[in-house]
Amino acid sequence: MAGPITNDTAHPVPRVPQSGRLLQFDFPGLEVGVAEYAEGPTGCTVFHFPKVASMHIDVRGGSPGSSGEYLTVINAICFAGGSLYGLEASTGVAAELFAKRGYSTKWMDIALVSGAIIFDYGRRENAIYPDKDLGRAAVRALRPGAFPMGAVGAGCSATAGHGETAELSGQGGAFRIVGKTRVAVFTVVNAYGAIVDRAGKVVRGNRSADGRRQHAADVVSNTGAYYPPKEPRSRNTTLTCVVTDRRLDALQLRSIARQVHTSMARAIQPFHSRWDGDILYACSTQAADDPALDEVSLGVVASELAWDAVLACYDE
């Protein structure tokens, strides 16, 4: 019996999305690249810092998948589908940056790349995953000031909710300038929980057969459990990248990462479950000196942007 379609049998060709919703932002020192395999659909999303950025990674949930988690400075972050197989895309990002740097092997020229993945096989029967070629294509597609939103890039087959109640989500972003400081938040929502807006309404996921979306508490109240007992549940993860240009030390970056990641439980309910592998990257390009904006206040701003980004991840 023939197995599922894979990269080895289908030989997919990378594509770069040419239309759809776009977040436009003004952030020197940050580039974004997106590439996809239509055969999945699946893809990857790359955040590139040409002059290196400081970084802290906050990991929550029971099923994370990442590489380069030991790094404290970074050139590129690659979000990808394909579960653990999708981490190959981050090696493609490193390989393409290696080429762009003239294959220099000097210590200070080594590209610093971290990768994180979501399980996006829930809505598709094939075994296509973001590989090295796709990571390289995303780097070739890098550009400043633009972030595609919806079911694109790493969010091609992402969902919100669980089991048969899940709905297609995607990737979203938000940007703001506060005083002298720039703040951007980008997220790929593939959550076990549902998306909740600021009015407390479930807007994505947990959709019943009659079309109504329910809060997790209502699901439990009505059915006795948030998930059917035999349902495979290790399918989820929300990946987030918070970027600022404000100068921050390692302790401040860690504090902001925790503050923002915790705040996202307002937008995704439930969040950080055993079945999620939620990862948040907090990054600073260290380009702006803005002592008037303390780290907690910056975290408040970034937390609101994170909620905006979650709400922007899906197409109506």
The answer to whether 51 and 285 are in contact (CB under 8 A) is yes
* Tokens found for residue 115: 């990768």
Among 74, 83, 278, 284, which Cα is nearest to 187's? 278
Closest CA to 4 of 124, 84, 158: 124
Torsion of CA 14, 280, 198, 165, to 10 degrees: 60
Q: How many CA atoms lie within 13 A of 74 on its CB side?
A: 30
What is the distance in angstroms between the CA of the first residue and the CA of the last residue of the chain? 39
Q: Which of 45, 61, 46, 56 is nearest to 278 (CA)?
A: 61
Question: Which residues are known to be catalytic?
Answer: 237
> Cis omega (within 30 of 0) on the bond before 41?
yes
Q: Give the whole-angstrom CA distance, residue 256 versus residue 248.
A: 10
In the numeric block, the tokens 């008037």 are attached to 292
| CA dist 7 → 38, 43, 46, 237 (Å) | 12, 13, 20, 23
